Amino acid sequence: MTRAKNGHAISVGRKSRAEIRRLKRLLVKAEKAKDLATWRRAKAVLGYIQGKTVIESCQELNVVRGTINQWLRWFEVKGTEGLESRKPPGAAIKLSEAQRQELIKSIEAGPIEAGYQTGIWTGPMIGDFIKRRYGISYHNHHIPRLLHVLGFSVQRPRRKLSRADLEKQQDWISKTLPNIKKKRQPVVEWFYSGMRQASGSMAHSTKPGLELAANRE
């Protein structure tokens, strides 16, 4: 392959018609799969080949210049294949189908029904419950994946809580928390943030007509 000239991130060999066709197919595939990370990479590289500057792509895709330059290097080294997302392998689901359905009902019933002293689930609590009930151990890092398979979506903790006004924190503890315990809401948290049964739709959208997963870059 011909090396890219100075001032050009992509060589002539990578701008072949065949490679561009593969790049366009990847763009369509990523859009259909709601794979925002891959879609952004393909969009940025294709835009660069078609004459768009890196700065223009930064503004359009809401990423920093260094990220786009990295994508261009990936494309230069491996072509279109270098832009595709690789899903890391996760732990195998160890629960049987009957156990999964039972676990869903237990989560929805709330942690108080399961013998805990709080009205809100946390990720580590889910892992502890599974170990006690079924004798199966899950690493905390794998609990979000399991919950996703069961139809729940996980929200990460918000840093604002640690900086919240002390008076508001006390008000939450004295008023809101008791109400939560009384209602026994089927809420699952990953440490401090809420988790709800997934609706099947993506929450983030970065471009009209594209409801894609958040960028992993």
Please indicate, yes or no, whether residues 138 and 187 belong to a single structural domain of this protein. yes
Residue 4 within a domain? no
Residue 195 predicted with pLDDT over 70: no
* Domain range for 186: 97-197
Asked if residue 19 belongs to a domain, the reply is yes
User: Does position 107 have pLDDT exceeding 50, yes or no?
Assistant: yes
Ranges of H-type helices in 110-188:
123-134, 143-149, 166-171, 177-183
DSSP string computed for 44-55: HHHHHHTT--HH
Q: How far is CA 110 from the centre of its chain?
A: 25
> Is residue 203 domain-resident?
no
Average pLDDT of the chain? Answer: 74
Is-contact 147 130, C-beta < 8 A? no
At 108-160, the pLDDT tens digits run: 888 899 888 888 888 888 989 998 888 888 887 888 888 888 887 666 554 44
pTM comes to 0.41
